[in-house]
Amino acid sequence: MIATVSAPANIAFLKYWGARDLHSATPLHASLSMTLETARATTTLEWREGDASPDDVQIIGGDGVPAPAPPSFALRVRTHLGRMRERCGRHGSFRVATSNNFPTGAGIASSAAGFAALAFGAARLWDVPADGGELSLMARLSGSGSAARSVAGGFVRWPADPSDPRGPAIPVAPADHWDLRDVIAIVDGSPKEHSSLEGHRLAPTSPHFSRRLQLIDGRRAEMERAIADRSFEALAPLVEEEAIELHLIAMSSRPPLFYWKPGTLRVLEAVRSMRARGLPAAATIDAGANVHVICEAAAGEEAAAELERLAEVAMLLRDRVGSGPRLEAGP
């Protein structure tokens, strides 16, 4: 049984940062993201029912040729596949070959896309009903919380019920609700120095973290209202204040984690000046130096042209709100 599937990355408007339990990616508060369309992982999964050999994990490089995955990546994939097998009560082995259509280290959540693709592909091969949040729970077994959101399209809250941290993600609005763009300004192509895992672990050591936990549900409710109303004016300051707060927590953790580079600040400044001139654009940054500039569709090209002129911007990627994973070939 073979299926080729693809799943998108996502960009968090409200960040998952800090976990109740890191192994099971159980968050301390809800997060909210926009699923992307263009940045995707494409994965072919071959399922061999009853076969007891270890899962075979390959990465397809830019030349299209599959090669054995580096050991640390292969281990993460095998662990995820093993947990899904156990959850779904299946016996057999996988042959997996995966590729990303975006540069790694580009500030795009490659693990979210990759693990969402594994969950979607396994569910397809095993005929697991993909509704009711099961896909999200399967993706989250990877340990990547953001993967739990990448299984759905549009604007996604995880967990669906913020008072149940073990619950799945749920879309709060579909992709066609609001045509937002994400212009990703790459100011530093090198891999990030600190993993998200390290960030989650250290978050509670910041003296500002407890205050964040008090404020975060209110901010999420306001963001969801702004999305429901398609009010960019309401959404923009919330998205930026949230991104700054994530980095405030990181920078004030013990030991501190610094992700920003000089180019990060330069892009933040440019986006603020765009907005002051009436261009609907807002900046957000994950655990890295690169900046996602969220725009209304009509503003996307003007924002991109302006960012392209900055000496600090090495590369721009253009993306938009997307509709989630899809079957590319197979059952």
Instruction: Name which of residues 285 to 314 contact ligand DP6 (CB under 6 A).
Output: 286-287
Listed ranges 9-17, 58-66, 79-87, 263-271: which one lies at the site for ligand DP6 (CB under 6 A): 9-17
Among 3, 5, 7, 16, which residue interacts with ligand DP6 (rule: CB under 6 A)?
A: 16
CA distances from 244 to 66, 173, 208, 286 (A): 39, 25, 12, 10
Q: What x-and-dash track marks residues 189-208 binding ligand DP6 by CB under 6 A?
A: -------x------------
Among 7, 41, 109, 236, which residue interacts with ligand DP6 (rule: CB under 6 A)?
A: 109
Minimum CB separation from ligand DP6 for residue 11, in Å? 7
Q: What x-and-dash track marks residues 120-149 binding ligand DP6 by CB under 6 A?
A: ------------------------xxx---
Q: Of the two residues 12 and 238, which places its CB atom closer to ligand DP6 in the complex? A: 12
* Measured distance CA(241)–CA(111) in Å, rounded: 25
Listed ranges 53-61, 108-116, 203-211, 254-262: which one lies at the site for ligand DP6 (CB under 6 A): 108-116
Q: Of the two residues 125 and 246, which places its CB atom closer to ligand DP6 in the complex? A: 246
Minimum CB separation from ligand DP6 for residue 35, in Å? 12
- Nearest alpha carbon to residue 113 among 37, 15, 202, 9: 9
| Contact between 27 and ligand DP6 per CB under 6 A | no
Listed ranges 11-19, 122-130, 133-141, 226-234: which one lies at the site for ligand DP6 (CB under 6 A): 11-19
* Measured distance CA(202)–CA(204) in Å, rounded: 6
Among 45, 112, 123, 184, which residue interacts with ligand DP6 (rule: CB under 6 A)?
A: 112
| Contact between 12 and ligand DP6 per CB under 6 A | yes
Minimum CB separation from ligand DP6 for residue 232, in Å? 21
Q: Which residues of 289-312 are buried (b: 16+ CB within 10 A; e: fewer)?
A: bbbbbbbbeebbeebbebbeebeb
Size of the site for ligand DP6 (CB under 6 A): 14
Listed ranges 14-22, 118-126, 295-303, 308-316: which one lies at the site for ligand DP6 (CB under 6 A): 14-22
Binding residues for ligand DP6, per CB under 6 A? Answer: 12, 15-17, 31, 109, 111-112, 144-146, 196, 286-287
